[in-house]
Amino acid sequence: MNQPEHSDHAQETGNGQPGGTGSPVDSPVSEADAGRLHEARERVLSELGKIIVGQEHVIDEILICLFSRGHVLLEGVPGLAKTLMISTLAKTLDLSFSRIQFTPDLMPADVTGTEIIEEDRASGHRELRFMPGPLFANIVLADEINRTPPKTQASLLEAMQERQVTAGRERHMLDDPFFVLATQNPIEQEGTYPLPEAQQDRFMFKIFVDYPSFDEEFEVARRTTGTVTGTAEPVLTGEEILRLQHLVRQVPVSDHVIRYALSLVRQTRVGSEGVPDFVDDLVGWGAGPRAVQFMILGGKARALLQGRHHVQVEDIQALAPPVLRHRMVVNFAAE
């Protein structure tokens, strides 16, 4: 793709997350503040390393989403420790964890919860009471989300966007932090229900989990066939994570970095000014405004995770693939 031209028309979108509010002026972040998130990353990686071999880039991108208050879509073949990675991450972060195995017969109420009739035995009075589902946890693993029908997939939408669940006429707020990690299997697509584009757009990143290297797979085989098993210890509490999420919002980003991200995303849109010919030929639909918002917000988190207190163009370039790969729809010729 051609180097994006800078655009003079950047949209004002509050704090960079859909539905968010905040001052358009970023507060300065000190070296000590930047060091806090960098130190948190090192501690989490150290604990995960006791259980998980390799996959550092996957863990980094998951942490970027977590500290940006986003959600992650993981794609990889079976046996790559996606579920183990997520459950171990929940342990290192000292957060409540819930796993939902998506199947063709799963109903929305099985995910969000349902209202039940409860009777007071003393008075005989009956009333409706909401019974929370597995969605009421800090970290939710939606395993093989493409195995369940669209109606059940859509039950996650309100929770991911509004951080609440509506049952009947009542709204039930979810605890913070709230982080959804959905997995899908790229093989055996027969009988599955691909996520609609609108729902994929709710995920900040789509991360590919690839096979380990020879040395990593050797270490996996050595560890998992012996008697010694590692145990991950908690290194961050929910309150600390909320403070770090707030810190990410305060990272300053210069106008030229915002224009770079905006220009990059706008070059994916067919028929727009300055779009390369191959985009017009091969792309059906380009990325929407959420891509710009998540690119900038993720760049802030990535900068802090690497110990910097400002966003660089390199941060935007590094995050472009996981932000854009599920927001662009290619046409038949590209496929």
Mean pLDDT of 182-197: 78
Tell me which of 23 and 149 has the higher pLDDT. Answer: 149
Amino acid at the residue 194: P
Give rounded-to-5 percent helix, strand, coil for the chain.
40, 15, 45
Is pLDDT at 1 greater than 70 in this prediction? no
Q: Give 37-67 pLDDT, tens digit per residue.
A: 888 888 888 888 888 888 888 888 999 999 9
Give the pLDDT confidence score for residue 114 in this predicted structure.
83
**pLDDT band at residue 20, thresholds of 50, 70 and 90?**
very low
Give the pLDDT confidence score for residue 91 in this predicted structure.
84
Give the pLDDT confidence score for residue 12 in this predicted structure.
41
Cα 41 → chain centroid: 16
Q: Give 153-180 pLDDT, tens digit per residue.
A: 888 888 888 888 887 778 888 888 899 9
Report how far residue 38's alpha carbon sits from residue 32's, in angstroms, rounded to the nearest whole number. Answer: 10
Give the pLDDT confidence score for residue 13 in this predicted structure.
42
Mean pLDDT score across all residues of the chain: 81
Question: How crowded is residue 144: how many other Cβ atoms within 10 Å of its Cβ?
Answer: 18
Torsion on CA atoms 62, 140, 232, 45, rounded to nearest 10: 0
Give the pLDDT confidence score for residue 29 in this predicted structure.
67
Is pLDDT at 259 greater than 90 in this prediction? yes
Q: Give 277-305 pLDDT, tens digit per residue.
A: 777 777 878 888 889 999 999 999 999 88
Residues 6+ apart with CB under 8 A from 219: 53, 54
**pLDDT band at residue 191, thresholds of 50, 70 and 90?**
low
Mean pLDDT of 124-143: 85
Residues 6+ apart with CB under 8 A from 52: 59, 81, 84, 85, 88
What is the C-alpha R_g of the chain?
Answer: 21
- Walk me through the domains of the chain, giving residue ranges and CATH numbers: 31-244 (3.40.50.300), 251-334 (1.10.8.80)
Q: Give 202-243 pLDDT, tens digit per residue.
A: 899 999 988 888 888 888 888 878 776 777 788 888 888 888
Q: Is 127 helix (H, G, I), strand (E, B) or coil?
A: strand
| pLDDT > 90 in the chain, percent | 17
Question: How crowded is residue 301: how many other Cβ atoms within 10 Å of its Cβ?
Answer: 31
Give the pLDDT confidence score for residue 189 in this predicted structure.
65
Q: Give 108-123 pLDDT, tens digit per residue.
A: 888 888 878 877 777 7
pTM, to two decimals: 0.81
